[in-house]
Amino acid sequence: MGELDGKVAVVTGAGRGLGRAHAIELAKQGAKVVVNDLGVAADGSGRDESAGQGVVDEIKSAGGEAVAHFGDVADWEQSKSMITTAVETFGDFNILVSNAGFCRDKMIFAMEEDQFDSVLRVHLKGHFCGIRHAAEYFRNKGKAEGQVYGRILSTASEAAFFADPGQPNYSAAKAGIIAITGGAATALAKYGVTANTFMPRARTAMTMVGQTAQFFAKPDEGFDMFAPENVSPFVAWLASPSAQNVSGNVFIVWGKDITVMEPPRHGVTSHASDEDAGWTFEDVKAQMTKVFEGKVPVKDSFIPPPVF
């Protein structure tokens, strides 16, 4: 018996890495799982349905229930069909874990339009489509039944905060995911549905490419702090009844650590000197000069933090 017995989950990008680990952990806790995966490479190229089907077979061999779904998360109808597949196969839908995505990194002055559009499409629109269709299902059921069991879990990245100049597409998408998920938390609270965003640091197809590969490499011995499986128990907990009072939050999860992020706070506020009038250029100059005195501007020595 698990905390998620009788619950039905959809996990996107569940063929490998974090998504695979999430799907297996949710099934371990008793959930029936729709394993969504296109089987694309780290840059979004290619397609291989064997990865998603392999996770389904792995869950079934362990005594769980799962079904594969090979739709595109950023396609309106194919995204909706994930929810339909859950309901038609298992009789209900309760949990959405959005994880699918890929990277096409390039410095901001060299990025092509398609590199920007494609990454925003899979991450930001892919999250939006899933959340939108899940929200509609939860709202309709909530209007008929009152409170419903619904969980929305979104995957963002610390790149949303650190503004990597080599990932203007990915960073923007991940920042947008936080906003969309927070809005869903507010919109669905009356029905008992929760929505949270988590930022995993883990070894995935995306982190094992380029300059981050060495940092995320598996150690020869000892605790593997970047193993995707370290993140999944937290995901399962957020999806469980134990986290009913947890909604609208952003978390960083990796290794042995879980950090709850604080909401953004106002910094220094300056007021126009003349109470009967607004700002003048001279007044702005005088006050802002004081605020930024001794501070240095952003330099061209950006070092990406250990994120993703």
CB atoms inside a 10 Å sphere around CB 51: 21
Closest CA to 151 of 137, 161, 165, 140: 137
* Dist CA 200 CA 18 (whole Å): 9
66-69 and 194-200 strand pairing? unpaired
Tell me 211's DSSP state. Answer: G
Sorted by sequence, the CB contacts under 8 Å of residue 106 that are 6+ apart come out as 112, 115, 166
Closest CA to 172 of 163, 181, 183, 182: 163
Closest CA to 40 of 102, 116, 125: 102
Could you give the 3-state DSSP secondary structure of residue 252?
strand
Three-state SS string across 212-245, please? Answer: HHHHHCCCCCCCCCCCHHHCHHHHHHHCCHHHCC
Q: Which alpha helices (DSSP H) does 11-123 contain, by range?
A: 17-28, 50-61, 76-90, 113-120
Closest CA to 213 of 42, 24, 31: 42
Q: Which residues are catalytic?
A: 157, 170, 174
Q: Which alpha helices (DSSP H) does 107-153 contain, by range?
A: 113-120, 126-145
